[in-house]
Structure 1
Amino acid sequence: MTGADSTGGTGSTGGTEGADHDRVRRSYDAVAEEYRARIGDELDGKPLDRALLGALAEQAGDGARLADLGCGPGHVAAWLAGRGTSVVGFDLSPAMVAIGRERHPEVEFREGDLLRLPAGDGEFDAAVALYSLIHLAPDELAPALTEIRRVLRPGGGLLVAFHIGSEVRNLTEWWGHEVDVDFHFLEPSAVAAALQEAGFRIKARLERAPYPHEAETRRACLLARRED
């Protein structure tokens, strides 16, 4: 993944908030304004993504409380809020959170990471993590999914999306900005197994080719439900 078409934002700082996670934060801070300008309307051209997000919101029900984990500038959170849900967007990047608060006042935004979410137990009826798991180190995936489960009510839905593969791509230049951020491709079977181990049941799987405006990688979406 080049990062230029990610529908999410940044991932986790990790429990130790080490140098790798600081790199992710600084990189997304650097590109935040350009990211919003290029990515802010991307759902208009992603019918399958909209369908999955709509299904998650419909299953959660009117007035449900949703979390957008790795929300970037808040465009996905705002789309969900327009479907009758109350949405909280979480992102590691202060610059992304600031843009979200300015542009989408109907959404609540919090700075936070996937391993230690600033949220209560069972606070949300559903959650999305679109292209945010890709910034986790391999040994952080399981604890991150356990943390996501913590903030979901029993039976709560979760939609995750990621790029398919086993490689790690490092990006040092992004839209003219100097960055240093890794993108971890993931195998759908491995993510499904990690979800099940964390206490989720897989309800649907989808793999798709990239849209013409996206980086040329195959993508996977998994729709899961927290077991009681």
Structure 2
Amino acid sequence: MTPLWQAVDLPALPGRSLLWIDDLRHLSPEYLARYFRPQAQGISPRVLARALRGAAPEVAEHVLGHAAPELTTAVREHGAEDVDRAQIRQAQLTVATVYFWEMAYHGRPEVYEQFSARQQPPLAELFPVTGVHDRTVLDVGTGGGRVLAHLDGHAARLYGVDPCRPLLAIAATKVPGAVLHEGGFDRLPLPDCSVDLVVSHGAYQVSEERGGTSGLAEVRRVLRPGGTARIAVANPSTAQHLRSTGVTEIAVRGAIEWTAPPADADPLLHHLLRLAHVHFDEQGRGRTPVWLFEIVRPA
């Protein structure tokens, strides 16, 4: 018999103003069912159980009520184990660290949009508009629609895919003519051979949950014969992973240019910039390298 779930009452962390375990409440039921795969991120069911036992009861109910049944069963098996507060706090730190960006996307999309507004990627170099005329384009990890807005008016048809519904709502206001779908690299919600060009900026990651080899296979699946994918990443480890898969690397002259926010901006915005390892000079300017990779499906 599955043990009863036993919550542990913990005092609130002093001075906490950023995201913590209770902010998992912002992950939508659809996200939890389709994309919440903590084991792929190195989080065991035991660690997740410990973290949730110190969360608000309604948060644990939300996560376990919508996550994949096999994950929920595995987590509940640890619901009555003896644990101390230090173990729970450590588990919460682990989960909150891994899912910090997702909690920010889903729970504070307006702050993530502010984060996006501080950066200026070399979009004209990464995704030239001259290459999209009369073509069907898919933007994977579209977020608030920045790349779609760059291509709008040039492509024959634009699709955007992102697992975060609040960010898709923002994208819809910027590019009302785009067709937007909730989804991710692991399972693109488009038919085989349906697009001429796949673009992605900053969304692809190494893990299978957020990209990986299965994500590259999905990109190839939706490309038409002769179609092309251009995947831009700003993490050197992710770039090295893509090199190891054998895809073609294209040299990039430009970089992501950043502008520092005012000192009194939302603390979460400042924290997101720290997590992105953005360093500003005395003039409030920053610069992050970007790597570009191309996949061509044979005609």
Aligned CA distance change for structure 1 residues 13 and 87 (closer, same or farther; 3 Å): farther
Say whether the 8 Å CA contact 1:69–1:129 is kept in structure 2.
yes
Distance 1:13 1:158, change over 3 A: farther
Give 1:175-186 correspondences, 5 Å limit. 186=238
Aligned length: 186
Matched, 1:191 2:247: no
Preserved contact between residue 144 and residue 170 of structure 2 (Cα < 8 Å): yes
Alignment equivalent of 1:49, drawn from 123, 130, 142: 123
Task: Trace 1:163-178 onto structure 2 (pairs within 5 A).
Answer: 163-166=234-237
Q: Distance in 2 between matches of 1:79 and 1:26?
A: 26
Q: Check whether the contact 1:40–1:73 (CA below 8 A) recurs between aligned residues.
A: no
Aligned to 1:33, which of 93, 107, 110?
A: 110
Q: Is the 8 A contact 2:134 2:155 kept in 1?
A: yes
Unaligned runs of 5+ in 1: 1-11, 167-185, 197-201
Letter in 2 for 1:58: T
Letter paired with 1:206: V
**Contact in 2 for aligned 1:145/1:195 (Cα 8 Å):** no
User: Equivalent of 1:204, from 241, 250, 273?
Assistant: 250
Any unmatched runs of 5+ in structure 2?
A: 1-30, 42-66, 68-98, 260-272, 280-287
CA distance in 2, matches of 1:111, 1:16: 11
TM-score (norm 1): 0.68
Aligned-pair CA distance for 1:99: 1.6
1:68 aligns with 2:139: yes
Report the alpha carbon displacement of residue 148 of structure 1 after superposing the two structures with TM: 0.8
Counterpart code for 1:194 = T
Distance 1:203 1:106, change over 3 A: same
How far off its partner does 1:139 sit?
9.6
Q: Percent identity?
A: 22
The Cα offsets for residues 5-60 of structure 1, whole Å up to 9 and x where unpaired, read as: xxxxxxx9897642378835433112311222442585xx44x3312211xx4334
Change in 2 beyond 3 A, CA 1:204/1:135:
closer
**Contact kept? 1:203, 1:225, Cα under 8 Å:** no
Contact in 2 for aligned 1:41/1:75 (Cα 8 Å): no
Residue type at the aligned position of 1:30:
G
Q: Using the TM superposition, give the Cα deviation of residue 205 of structure 1 relative to its aligned residue in structure 2, in angstroms.
A: 3.1
Q: Work out the CA distance in 1 between the residues paired with 2:33 and 2:296.
A: 24
Number of the residue aligned with 2:9: none
Whether 1:150 aligns to 2:221 is yes
1:122 pairs, out of 178, 183, 193, with 193
Q: What residue in structure 1 maps to residue 291 of structure 2?
A: 220
The CA deviation at 1:126 is 0.3
CA distance 1:195–1:90, change in 2 (3 Å)? farther
Bigger radius of gyration among the two: 2
Larger relative contact order, structure 1 or 2 (CA cutoff 8 Å, min sep 6): 1
Q: Give distance in 2, aligned partners of 1:145 and 1:134.
A: 11
Identify the match of residue 79 of structure 1 among 145, 150, 157. Answer: 150
Which structure has greater helix proportion? 2
| 1:3 match | none
> Alpha-carbon deviations, 1:68-108, whole Å to 9, x = none?
00000112112112223311110010111122123321211
What's the CA shift string for 1:170-189, capped at 9, x where partnerless? xxxxxxxxxxxxxxxx234x
Counterpart pick for 1:98 among 161, 165, 169: 169
Q: Secondary structure at the match of 2:236?
A: coil
| Secondary structure in 2 matching 1:187 | helix
Taking the aligned partners of 1:140 and 1:195, their CA distance within structure 2 comes to: 15
**Which letter maps to 2:130?**
E
Indicate how the Cα distance of structure 1 residues 14 and 129 shifts in structure 2: closer, same or farther if over 3 A, else same: farther
TM-score by length of 2: 0.53
Q: Could you tell me how far 1:67 is from its partner in structure 2?
A: 0.3
